[in-house]
Structure 1
Amino acid sequence: MELTFRTAGIGDLELLTESRLRAIRTYRHLSETAALPHGLPDAVRDYYRQALASGSHIALLALVGERLAATGGLDLRREMPSYHNPAGLSGHIMNIWTDPAFRGRGIAWRMLDLLTAAACERGCLTVSLHTTAMGRPLYQRYGFTATDDEMELELPAEKSEP
């Protein structure tokens, strides 16, 4: 199995939209035929179109040949500077999803490596994420600590190499 990771672009809108909807179905325990909220596919597509163009979101794809094995994303956020984050830059990891056929092979861990490195390169001092019960053990092993409904990982102040 030769796995490659690449940054998604505007040309990947349909693949990104499809993968986000698959992730939502997985997280919500919905069948492939269950109805989704009206307008959700268009809203997801519009989000990716705008966020990728502005650079406020980085989407990664893990591929085995042409087959999508996993996805992950990083929202880059500007927030009120604070004691622990004087620059006011943070990242929010989202849409970590692995096709069931590829789970248990360390792909999500590698996705986290790439996304946290991208956050560091852009000056973020923390990244957060929402988790499911299935994902929580992975994120805890990675170093995230629980808050009320998010987990946060403090990143080194220096830029790290991916």
Structure 2
Amino acid sequence: MIRPATLDDLPHVLRFRRAMLSEMRSTDEAALHHMEESAAAFLREGFRDGTCLVWIAEADGQPAGCGILHLVPWIPSMVDPSSRRVWVHNVYTVPEFRRLGIAGQVMQAMITWCREQGFRSVSLHASEHGRSIYESLGFRASNEMRLFF
């Protein structure tokens, strides 16, 4: 079952974010702890002001994964005159529930919401593990570039 999250789900979302980052690249416990504290404050504010929406996947009666939408202000363009964009973050499935289509179901729920709200695009940064799921849903590479400091 996929459902919108509430503030009561925040501990699960933070646990999933920590696990995702640990699996991807970080074993620095101090950095993970700092991220978790910062993310908790960010997500609480996002829940409050409506800029962060989270979907929770449940399996066997327990939280098994999640996905976050972050609505951000954006300068309008001719392609999309809206002053908002939406970014997908933290699509994660607990290891024992992987390969069951949960991440795809979470993504479908979030994409449906975005379409219903009139968004014309959805952006994300794909991990190597997630790339095939996103491509199967129609995501494709764009012209975005980034300078890291």
- Tell me which interval the TM-score lies in, with the shorter structure as reference length: 0.7 to 0.9
Gaps of 5+ in 2: none
Gaps of 5+ in 1: 151-162
Q: CA RMSD in A?
A: 1.8
| Deviation of the 1:88 alpha carbon | 2.6
Describe the SS at the equivalent of 2:122. Answer: strand
Q: Whole-Å Cα distance in 1 between the matches of residues 72 and 119 of structure 2?
A: 9
2:140 to 123, 129, 145: 145
State, as a whole percentage, how many aligned pairs show the same letter.
26
| Deviation of the 1:65 alpha carbon | 3.7
| Deviation of the 1:66 alpha carbon | 3.7
For 1:15, give the aligned amino acid. H
Q: Which runs of 4+ in 1 moved over 3 A?
A: none
Residue 13 of structure 1 is matched in structure 2 by: 10
Change (3 A) 1:15 1:86: same
Residue 52 of structure 1 is matched in structure 2 by: 47
Between Structure 1 and Structure 2, the one with more strand by share is: 1
**TM-score (ref. length: structure 2):** 0.87
1:3-22: CA deviation from partner (whole Å, max 9, x where unpaired): x2111111222222111111
**Which structure has more RCO (C-alpha within 8 Å, separation ≥ 6)?**
2
Give the length in aligned residue pairs.
144
**TM-score (ref. length: structure 1):** 0.81
Q: Structure 2 matches for 1:51-130, cutoff 5 A?
A: 51-130=46-125
